[in-house]
């Protein structure tokens, strides 16, 4: 007789401890790349201002607004434990493609292209609105899922 597995119990406890994650809806598989606000990544008119009129900062992503409208909160399987907000769009960002903002051009190049990345849509926050961005309103989650202080590319290398 095999001993009962602890994995289902751990998953149940995780779902109960993190209701926003438990209610996340799978959006599909996307191709994820990274960009910075330099002229090489964004063209000659690069000024560090997103399509929503905000200055770029970590936690922002660019997406096709027909699939992921501005203000949508998402989780990406290639960068676990972090919440991102759609606040930008780009000329090359069409369909199932996401661009993650990373401050350093070198780190954005290191990030590369992540194909078949799972994307989850997070529900609106308790007051019924989408979060403005992680910098102005931290997502509600238990401390065990809080983002670390390491750069994005360091987190992604651990999961490969």
pLDDT in tens, the chain (160 residues): 555 555 454 444 444 444 445 588 898 999 999 988 877 777 777 787 888 888 888 899 999 999 999 999 999 999 998 999 999 887 888 999 999 999 888 998 999 888 999 999 998 765 555 544 443 344 455 545 545 555 555 555 555 4
20-158: in CATH 2.40.40.10:
yes
- Confirm whether pTM is higher than 0.85: no
Q: Can you give the pLDDT at residue 40?
A: 77
Helices (H), 1-151: 7-17, 19-22, 39-42, 105-111
Residue 11 CA to residue 18 CA, distance in Å, equals: 11
Question: How high is the pLDDT of residue 75?
Answer: 94
Q: Give the Cα separation of 100 and 33 in Å (integer).
A: 6
Query: How many other CB atoms sit within 10 Å of the CB of residue 145?
Result: 16
């Amino acid at each position: 007789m095999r001993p009962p597995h602890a994995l289902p119990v751990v998953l149940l406890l995780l779902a109960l401890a993190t209701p926003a994650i438990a209610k996340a809806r799978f959006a599909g598989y996307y191709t994820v790349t990274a960009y910075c606000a330099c002229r090489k990544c964004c063209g000659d008119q690069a000024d560090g201002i997103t399509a929503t009129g905000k200055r770029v900062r970590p936690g922002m992503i660019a997406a096709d607004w027909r699939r992921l409208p501005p203000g949508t909160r998402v989780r990406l399987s290639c960068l676990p434990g972090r919440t991102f907000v759609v606040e930008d769009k780009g000329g090359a960002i069409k369909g199932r493609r996401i661009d993650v903002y990373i401050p350093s051009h070198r780190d954005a190049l290191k990030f590369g292209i992540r194909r078949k990345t799972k994307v989850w849509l997070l529900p609106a926050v308790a007051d019924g609105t989408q979060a403005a961005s992680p910098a102005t309103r931290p997502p509600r989650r238990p401390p065990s899922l809080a983002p670390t202080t390491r750069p994005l590319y360091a987190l992604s290398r651990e999961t490969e």
